[in-house]
Amino acid sequence: MDRRHFLKFSAAGGALLTGCAPFQVKDTKAHVVVIGGGFGGATAAKTLRLLDANLKITLIEPKTQYVTCPGSNWLFAGITNLTQLSVDYRTLQVQYDIDLVTQSVATIERNIRQIRLTNGDSIGYDRLILSPGITFKWDAIAGYSAEIAAIFPHAWQAGLQTRILAQQLQAMPQGGVVLIVAPPDPYRCPPGPYERASMMACWIKQHNPRAKILILDSKRSFSKQRLFEAGWRANYGYGTANSLIEWHSLADNSINELHKASKTVISEFGDRFTGDVLNIIPAQMAANLAMHAGLTNPHGWCDINPLTSQSVEDDCIHVIGDAAQFTPMPKSAFAANSQAKACAMAVFNLIHQQPMSEPHWINTCYSLIAPEQGISVVGVYRLDDEKRRIIAVEGAGGVSHAFEEQISRSEAGYARSVYQNLIKNSFG
Amino acid sequence: MRWLLMWLLMTAQPVHAEFNPQSVVMNCLICHDSEKNSSSGEVPDLAGLTSAELHQALLDFKYDRRFATLMPRIAKGYSDAEIQAVADWLSQ
Ligand SMILES: Cc1cc2nc3c(=O)[nH]c(=O)nc-3n(C[C@H](O)[C@H](O)[C@H](O)COP(=O)(O)OP(=O)(O)OC[C@H]3O[C@@H](n4cnc5c(N)ncnc54)[C@H](O)[C@@H]3O)c2cc1C
């Protein structure tokens, strides 16, 4: 039996996982390296420190400022800005004694448990936690690329592109058209494109009321659809000839080409859509680093053992967040935080050779339809009886009861409050 | 009491990974800030609540005896025994 199958096999039985014994002698500190200072990585580093005062913990992240994707759609309604959406790593460094390395990882040399940074330095690890986020399948839309994304932003990694897209929206001629090309599953933040359409509609309703937002979707349905559509009917004339938002399902006829000069996107069967502002959100997969390290499956995501979040390819490496396959959990910051905590518990137990405790996860995604109207979706997750698969607990979770004035007003308040707590809980 | 409960939980289901209320509570703290007094309209802070109050609130959410926007969807994810263990853990 090879190592990979041994891991799968032993994990299924819930036995103690071995095979990744520390290189070091027993009384030196174990070294856990975390790659990626997003929601997954920051929470993992912080939680590990709360569990273990003695570990050596290193966090590697190239950016000194991280702009949160959660909340970034609110920019389109003019109710936040990039400064308010930015966090740094000072608290993690100072208060949680985490060694911060402001560099990019070039390669993971798995055979010698060492990380090579792009500046040439190397860092050894006993256990590695990988939370590198996503990259885009650029070849899915001919004519679209990382360079063109500076002109037709995806804004699916918050930052400068988010601001550019908001400026394009604001500069659009009266009666202009915004095209949002929504990606196929799975992708980060399933309700994200529809919250974005809502926030853009909120802005054009005030400043450009003859304009229109067309969502061109490669899916047949979408997250919280019933609630979004009810909210759009109540606010944006959805379903009428003057609707500010139109949703077009292009299932089996996805957008696969961009004609840049004419600002036109073209579907497989040749349907053409022309707009003034193009927000193209391509299909996604785990960040390049995960693929180069040989940790991805044929679909581009990292398979893990959900009991411990260890990669099925390498039992010294744990993968969490958007890059990992935690189905049926959606890819969200909330989920990445929850996965990071279960992962930190598992890493702690493995290092101290203690029995595993049962992991528990929760996800909640709030979306704003208008600044004072919110909706939510919840999932409560645990392992199935065989401890092999993650299941959504039956009878729990689900979407907001209804789109109703009083409830949606409360949920808009909770959306802001949960955002603040999520940031504080993840970054210190 | 807590140990008896843990023992009951562990023997009731034949699982190899044991139930640990901390694994659940860490998720509650994503929304419920443990250090801050929340003002109205914000997610309530749980710091001042006793184990009995937490237990009662969670069961009321679970069995739809108390109206709320979100908590019923979460509370339904746990057995009554797990809710008891979570309330005990949180109140310490
Ligand atoms: C518009 C939008 C709105 C969203 N709204 C919400 C919301 O309201 N609620 C919610 O829960 N989620 C939301 N999300 C989803 C959320 O942003 C992601 O699910 C979350 O960021 C995933 O966290 P992560 O740690 O997996 O990855 P990321 O947050 O992307 O972090 C990955 C980090 O790894 C670093 N990295 C990558 N490669 C390397 C390398 N080679 N070396 C070193 N570092 C590296 C990157 O610099 C990055 O900082 C939204 C997403 C979008 C796009």
pLDDT at A270 over 60: yes
Domains and CATH numbers, chain A: 3-133+287-358 (3.50.50.60), 139-283 (3.50.50.60)
Which pLDDT does position A72 carry in this prediction? 98
Q: Give the residue from B43, B76, B46, B69 showing the smallest Cα distance to A379.
A: B76
Flag whether residue A161 sits within 8 Å of chain B, measured between CB atoms: no
Residue numbers in A near B12 (CB within 8 A): none
Q: CB of A197 closer than 6 A to ligand 1?
A: no
pLDDT at A9 over 80: no
Which pLDDT does position B3 carry in this prediction? 42
- Report CA-CA distances (Å) from B32 to A14, A304, A404, B36: 31, 29, 25, 9
Which pLDDT does position A16 carry in this prediction? 42
pTM: 0.94
Residue numbers in A near B30 (CB within 8 A): 334, 337-338, 362, 364, 418, 421-422, 425
Beta bridge partners of A272: A266
Q: In sequence order, what are the residues at sequence separation of 6 or more whose Cβ sits closer than 8 angstroms to the Cβ of residue B90?
A: B25, B28, B46, B49, B51, B54
Least confident of A54-63, A294-303, A310-319, B1-10: B1-10
Chain A nearest-CA residue for B38: A417
Question: With contact defined as beta carbons under 8 Å apart, do A144 and A279 qualify?
Answer: no
| Burial zone of A406 (CB within 10 Å; 0-12 exposed, 13-18 middle, 19+ buried) | exposed
pLDDT at B10 over 50: no
* Residue A152 CA, ligand 1 centroid: distance in Å: 20
Residue numbers in B near A378 (CB within 8 A): 70, 73-74
B36 pLDDT band, cuts 50/70/90, is: low
Q: What percent of chain A has pLDDT over 70?
A: 94
Residue nearest to atom 13 of ligand 1 (CA): A70
pLDDT at B13 over 90: no
A10 pLDDT band, cuts 50/70/90, is: very low
Please state the rounded mean pLDDT for residues A81-109. Answer: 98
Question: A359 and B23 in contact by Cβ < 8 A?
Answer: yes
Q: What is the pLDDT of residues A132-155, one digit of tens each?
A: 999 999 999 999 999 999 999 999
Which pLDDT does position A27 carry in this prediction? 55
Flag whether residue B68 sits within 8 Å of chain A, measured between CB atoms: no
Buried b (16+ CB within 10 A) or exposed e, A358-385: bbbbbbbbbbbbbeebbbbbbbbbbbee
Please state the rounded mean pLDDT for residues A323-334. Answer: 98
d(CA A418, CA A414): 6
Question: With contact defined as beta carbons under 8 Å apart, do A340 and A168 qualify?
Answer: no
Q: CB of A236 closer than 6 A to ligand 1?
A: no
A91 pLDDT band, cuts 50/70/90, is: very high
Residue numbers in B near A395 (CB within 8 A): 76
Residue-wise DSSP of A58-114:
EEE-S-SSEE-STTGGGGGGTS--TTTTEE-SHHHHHHH--EEE-S-EEEEEGGGTE
Q: What is the ipTM of this complex?
A: 0.92
Give the nearest partner residue to A358 out of B20, B70, B75, using CB atoms.
B20
pLDDT at A26 over 70: no
CA atoms within 13 A on the CB side of A272: 6
Q: What is the pLDDT of residues A194-212, one digit of tens each?
A: 999 999 999 999 999 999 9
Flag whether residue A239 sits within 8 Å of chain B, measured between CB atoms: no
Residue numbers in A near B45 (CB within 8 A): none
pLDDT at A109 over 50: yes
Which pLDDT does position B14 carry in this prediction? 40
Question: With contact defined as beta carbons under 8 Å apart, do B89 and B22 qualify?
Answer: yes
Q: How far does the CA of residue A333 sit from the closest CA of chain B (Å)?
A: 11
Residue-wise DSSP of A338-393:
HHHHHHHHHHHHHHTT-PPBPP-EEEEEEEEEETTEEEEEEEEEEE-TTSSSEEEP
Q: CB of A201 closer than 6 A to ligand 1?
A: no
Residue nearest to atom 2 of ligand 1 (CA): A69
Which pLDDT does position A11 carry in this prediction? 36
d(CA A310, CA A329): 17
pLDDT at A156 over 70: yes
Residue numbers in A near B33 (CB within 8 A): 421, 424-425
Which pLDDT does position A112 carry in this prediction? 98
| Burial zone of A8 (CB within 10 Å; 0-12 exposed, 13-18 middle, 19+ buried) | middle
Give the nearest partner residue to B30 out of A337, A385, A414, using CB atoms.
A337
Please state the rounded mean pLDDT for residues A393-417. Answer: 96
Domain boundaries, chain B: 50-91
Question: A421 and B43 in contact by Cβ < 8 A?
Answer: yes
Question: With contact defined as beta carbons under 8 Å apart, do A426 and A42 qualify?
Answer: yes
Q: Give the residue from A317, A316, A335 showing the smallest Cα distance to A390.
A: A335
Using CA of residue A99, residue A118, residue A61, residue A115, what is the dihedral sign? negative
pLDDT at A14 over 80: no
Q: CB of A156 closer than 6 A to ligand 1?
A: yes
Question: A345 and B23 in contact by Cβ < 8 A?
Answer: yes
Q: What is the pLDDT of residues A330-386, one digit of tens each?
A: 999 999 999 999 999 999 999 999 999 999 999 999 999 999 999 999 999 999 998
Q: Which atom of ligand 1 is nearest to the CA of A322?
A: 26
Q: What is the pLDDT of residues A210-269, one digit of tens each?
A: 999 999 999 999 999 999 999 999 999 999 999 999 999 999 999 999 999 999 999 999
Q: CB of A426 closer than 6 A to ligand 1?
A: no
Q: What is the pLDDT of residues B46-91, one digit of tens each?
A: 988 999 999 999 999 999 999 999 999 999 999 999 999 999 999 9
A8 SS3 class = helix
Read off φ and ψ for residue A195, nearest 5 degrees: -65, -40
Which pLDDT does position B17 carry in this prediction? 85
d(CA A248, CA A33): 44
Which pLDDT does position A13 carry in this prediction? 34
d(CA A364, CA A40): 15
Flag whether residue A342 sits within 8 Å of chain B, measured between CB atoms: yes
pLDDT at A128 over 80: yes
Q: CB of A318 closer than 6 A to ligand 1?
A: no
Flag whether residue B4 sits within 8 Å of chain A, measured between CB atoms: no
Question: B17 and A358 in contact by Cβ < 8 A?
Answer: yes
